[in-house]
Amino acid sequence: MKKILLLCIPLLFCNTYTHTRKTDRYAIVIGATSGIGRELAKILSKHKYIVGITGRRAALLTSLQKELPAKSYVQTMDVAQPEKAMRQLENLIDQMGGLDLIVLNAGVAFVDPELDWQKEKQMIDVNVSGFTALASVAINYFIKQEHGHFVGISSIGALRGHWYSPVYNATKAYVSLFMDGIRTKVNKDGYPITITDIQPGFIETEMTQGQQGMFWQVSAHEAAEQIYAAIVSKSDHAYVAKKWRVVGWAMKYLPDWLYNLVDC
């Protein structure tokens, strides 16, 4: 009997270690200083994720960290500097000791019917170059460990071009198509990696303050709750709020002459 007990002790320790490893979940939110990113970081922390938060404004990251109930890590980051941001993301993953979920929320939007190159460049630098750089770090990490969940925040504007900001819609179309391509890649190669494309409509954030024509707006917190639900269900795609799927259908299928009459 004593010999049997001695043989069981190592197994007990092994099972405890394995259980601990499985219950630790690591998430990073890129662009967590305000809006959807800030609210989503709170929700993930509430659900026991170890969360890494990034953004350009260190003071806002520090204040957010104080609100997070679970363990968290802070990394200042400017997505418009992709090579530096890639190194910072790699370092953050190392500090945290793992990564299961990443949400790429950082983005820039301007109403730009005048086609101002400085505005256009900022949107391209962040929404295209920065997004691709950080996505590549995360996807390669997930491929190496053979699991992970990548969430990209695109836009309802990805579905069709519009006069108010041709470049913004184009950059978000890039985001959605990039994620679609990555999804086909990991599926083809047999990796259990989830790619979720989130396409929000109008959200009450700093980017929408003072803009005309906002309708069906939801709060950043409500949007983050719906995004978390899409994460839990491992959806490939989600409109936020859900009723925006009607607008999504219209944007895809309305004939040009009718779509051009819509001034929003």
DSSP output for 131-156: HHHHHHHHHHHHHHHT-EEEEEE--G
- Contacts of residue 67, Cβ cutoff 8 Å, sequence gap at least 6: 42
Distance CA(181)–CA(178), nearest Å, equals 5
* Cα 145 from Cα 124, distance rounded (Å): 30
Cβ-in-10-Å burial (0-12, 13-18, 19+) of 181 comes to exposed
- Whether the Cβ atoms of residue 29 and residue 104 lie closer than 8 Å to each other: no
Phi/psi at 221 (5° precision): -65, -45
Full pLDDT tens readout for the chain, 264 residues: 444 444 444 444 444 333 334 568 999 999 999 999 999 999 999 999 999 999 999 999 999 999 999 999 999 999 999 999 999 999 999 999 999 999 999 999 999 999 999 999 999 999 999 999 999 999 999 999 999 999 999 999 999 998 889 999 999 999 999 999 999 999 999 999 999 999 998 788 665 555 555 555 789 999 999 999 999 999 999 999 787 677 667 677 677 776 777 655
pLDDT for position 85: 98
- Which domains are seen in the chain, by residue range? 24-259 (3.40.50.720)
> Which pLDDT belongs to residue 58?
97
Q: Cβ–Cβ contacts within 10 Å for residue 15, how many?
A: 10
- Complete edge-to-edge strand list for the sheet that includes strand 49-55: 72-76, 49-55, 25-30, 101-104, 148-153, 193-200, 237-240
User: Which of 76, 71, 80, 72 is CA-nearest to residue 33?
Assistant: 76
Question: What is the per-residue pLDDT for 254?
Answer: 72
Q: Rounded to whole angstroms, what are the CA distances from 208 to 33, 99, 211?
A: 16, 31, 6
